Amino acid sequence: MSTLDELIRDDLSASADSVEVTDDQLGHVVHRYTRRLRAVRRQRRMRAVVAAAAAVVVLGAGAVALQQLLATVDSLPPSRTVEPTTLPVTFANLHGVWVDSASGWLLSFGSDGRLDVVNPGDPSTFDEENTTTITIGPTGITLPDHWCDLDLEPRQGGTMQSTLVREPVPWGGPTSGLCRDLTGHHTLSRLTPAVPGTEADTRSAPEPATGTQQVTSRVQIRGAWRLQASGGLLLIMWDADDANYHYALSGGGQDLTFVDGGTVSMVDDHLVFASEGPDVYCEVGSQTRLAAARVWSTEGDQPFSQALTSRTTRLACGLHSALSDVWLRVS
Amino acid sequence: MNAWSEEAVAVPTGGPEADWLPFSIVPTVGESPREEIISALFRSEYAGLLRLAYCITGDRCSAEDVVMEAYCSLHVHWPLMRRSSAPLPYLRSAVILGSRSVIRQAVRSRHWHPRSEVARPDPSSEDAIADTEAGTLAGAVRALPHRQCEVIVCRYYLELSEAETAELLHLSVGAVKQHAHRARQTLSRWLEVER
């Protein structure tokens, strides 16, 4: 046995041995246990009595209430809001892409437990270090050790509460590998539709748009966008080095890896996307033109505040067909 | 050192429970088998379970609550217990799960004030371990990722084998080895700094 093993064993034993249990304390504990069981039994009996009484009342009043309900339900306005009922943590309920409304980070949950966490404004986060696999057990989700603890609470209506309980100590220091306590609450909003047929699938009607604006300047489209149908991620960034706007486009679906990029320019009220750089999907120099680009502002409970629509007048390659899709602003 | 006392607490009565109990039982008039077995488990295992919870949480009051919940859970799930598994592994498993929940709840509510002589790391500290108790590894073990912490406690405090640890924590033996290896690396690095 190594010195380290002996130290761990001795320290844990010493720590544990400091906890003493006297006969009096044990007697008190058993007494607490007995009282607790009696209380549970009392509660059960009380619930049974209340349930029986309620059943009688409900049966009597049910017929009257049903008649009243049927008489008034037709006059009620249709409700678009969905009660934020908590859903069980299952792969099906988590499946899809979510955005943290405060930071703009994206979380993409696969049906097999794969989790990608990326910052749309920082392409360096699009690597394997930000991909992991979660497991779901009786106590919630479990992340690999080096990710420490995270709680998730999906709700109906396309939102989810995430709570970071402990975060890893950054690498490089003497305590790297340990977790430090941290409590951070974040509200996530669903960007992609829930899996049809699951509890998360509420299929609520979209909020109506409250205003539109013609795109006349690239600054209007600067930021991160989710392409609604393909699920692709589109980043439009200002590069101070060459004083130009650039774009990066992911392949779509759950895969958030950028596969194409280049410059964005504005020519005769057309948005022009030109592929540039090494390892781009479309042919270098090929251009896709979008006309009639309009930004739609929305209000209400939608997870996005803006959407963009346009019409393709020239297509550079198949991947760019996603650009004529509806864009949902992520950040 | 084995933390689990296996002293005889009573006399065997036979019956379906007897084969998985590490001790024998004195029947008490008027008590059902469930009550008398749980009562015996209190006498024989309570202190060990309390120390197990304390190894993970570092807080006696929380450890007492966790162990109490484990016994109550055993009472509720007794019908399943008799068919499937022994109560002691069930209690240990419930204590480990409960300890994990206590830590997470305490951190979440920011009311983590251990009352023992071993302090938790300062949540606001950049360095998770630098401010813990001087000279002991117990605090560093508690600051490990929870799976690593549980594996270390099972292997070094309970002195379980890798296979027994795997069974208790519902992990594969390979995962137990991996968690133990990573934990030892981290603790070794911490020890170097302390020296």
- Residue ranges per domain, chain B? 29-116, 121-195
- ipTM of this complex prediction, to 2 decimal places: 0.72
Q: How many domains does chain A have?
A: 3
Facing B148 at nearest CB: one of A145, A176, A181: A145
Q: Distance between CA atoms of A187 and A149, rounded to whole angstroms?
A: 17
In the block, tokens 């600054």 appear at A219
Residue A4 in any domain: the answer is: no
CB contact under 8 A, B71 and A33: yes
Least confident of A112-121, B110-119, B139-148: B110-119
Tell me the residues of chain A between 16 and 35 that have a Cβ less than 8 Å away from chain B: 16-21, 26, 29-30, 32-33
Q: What is the CATH number of the domain that holds A150?
A: 2.40.128
Rounded to the nearest 10°, the torsion over CA B156, B158, B164, B166 is -60
A18 vs B contacts (CB less than 8 Å): 116-117
Same domain, A230 and A296: yes
Same domain, A248 and A314: yes
Q: How far is A305 from chain B (nearest CA, A)?
A: 31
Q: Output A181 or B117, whichever has higher pLDDT.
A: A181
CATH topology (fold) of B121-195: Arc Repressor Mutant, subunit A (1.10.10)
Same domain, A154 and A50: no
Indicate the residue among A127, A158, A190 that finishes a domain.
A190
Residue A61 in any domain: the answer is: yes
Q: Work out the average pLDDT over B43-53.
A: 93
Residue A15 in any domain: the answer is: no
- Tell me: the pLDDT tens digits for A129-153? 667 788 887 667 777 766 677 778 8
Facing B46 at nearest CB: one of A7, A26, A138: A26
Rounded to the nearest 10°, the torsion over CA A215, A218, A219, A221 is 70
Facing B186 at nearest CB: one of A26, A177, A181: A177
- Structural domain containing residue A70: 27-75
CB contact under 8 A, A179 and B128: yes
- Tell me: the pLDDT tens digits for A76-128? 443 333 445 778 888 888 888 787 766 777 788 887 788 877 776 666 666 66
Longest dimension (CA), chain A: 88
Judging by beta carbons within 10 Å of its beta carbon (0-12, 13-18, 19+), is residue B70 exposed, middle or buried? Answer: buried
**pLDDT exceeds 90 at position A307:** no
Closest alpha carbon within chain A to B68: A33
CB contact under 8 A, B68 and A21: no
